[in-house]
Amino acid sequence: MADFLAPPSFPTLLQRFFTEYLREHRAVSPSTVAAYRDTFRLLLLFAQKTIGKSPTKIALADLEATLILAFLDHLERERGNTVRSRNARLSAIRAFLKYAAHQDLTALATIEHALAVPQKRCDKAVLGFLTRPEMEAIIDAPDRRCWAGQRDRALFTMLYNTGARVSEVIDLRICDVVLDVSPVAHLRGKGRKRRSVPIWKATAAMLRQWLRQLPRSGETDPLFPNSSGGRLSRSSVTERLALAVKGASSSLPQLANRPISPHSIRHTTAMHLLQAGVDITVIALWLGHESPTTTHIYLEADLAMKEEALSRLQPITAMPARYRAPDKLMAFLQAL
């Protein structure tokens, strides 16, 4: 009879989850690894205070639904986390538990109960996007007489053209853009997924002009470098965009008090593509969404705008007819 193999310990499982499953099998981004890591650091510290076990002594069976619920409540009440942050932490825990379920069959009952802990509902944030004149004003705001201003104009144009995440644009190298017959940008997205996005003729012309301003650089050098020739940081892009918005607000005062980030430009690209009649599945590919359902937020926002416009067109004297349910059951449902 074969010897019974004891299941791996919780510390072993957690280490394998990060080193083997996330990094090698799933090939997730470093930012995802960092987010999951922070979740378990908080969870293990909370468990140590709650059940009196040090992290290395915790067993998989200790991760009961009651402990996880108490941890999530702790995040909201004592750490001031938003519902979205709470749900993100829960997603990280769920990912580990699903992995652990295949490694330790003795803890299946505990894992099943823990996986039943639901996500908390939260209000969806209203999408912030810019009109075409607002986007054009922001792109034109940087001073084209200086090197940094020319770079910023090309950078913001590229963000708008591609709908890229800021991390994708600052990672672009000179060799990642093709500007000849069919201009295209090759982006490296989440989970190291690559996608190619067409570049408009006007964008290609601006990029050609920008490349002439760069010193003789190697093909693998950043397309949008900082003043030292290195890679721009996310915070630098945010700061440069804030300066451009401030400049554009002199001609468009409505921009002055609006929270506009690089991600706002991504939302703007999606909404403008949708309003131009581009199919939602094409927009999903354009933005690098893993599932088209993620892109439906733009469809919902567009429909909400159209409904609001229609409500303004309704004559004041028009009295909408009240719906009358055909029978008692329908009346009951209507009244719910």
* Active-site annotation, residues: 165, 190, 263, 266, 289, 298
Give the count of alpha carbons within 13 A of 157, CB side only.
22
Tokens 């094409």 map to which residue?
282
Of 134, 109, 133, 104, give the one whose Cα is nearest residue 16: 104
CA distance 298 to 269: 10
Taking the C-alpha atoms of residue 173 and residue 171, their distance in angstroms, rounded to an integer, is 6
3-state secondary structure of 225: strand
Measured CA to CA, the distance from residue 145 to residue 236 in angstroms comes to 20
CB 130 within 8 A of CB 138: yes
Give the count of alpha carbons within 13 A of 199, CB side only.
25
d(CA 306, CA 250): 29
Q: What is the DSSP string of 85-134?
A: HHHHHHHHHHHHHHHHHTT-GGGHHHHHHHHTPPPPP-PPPPPP---HHH
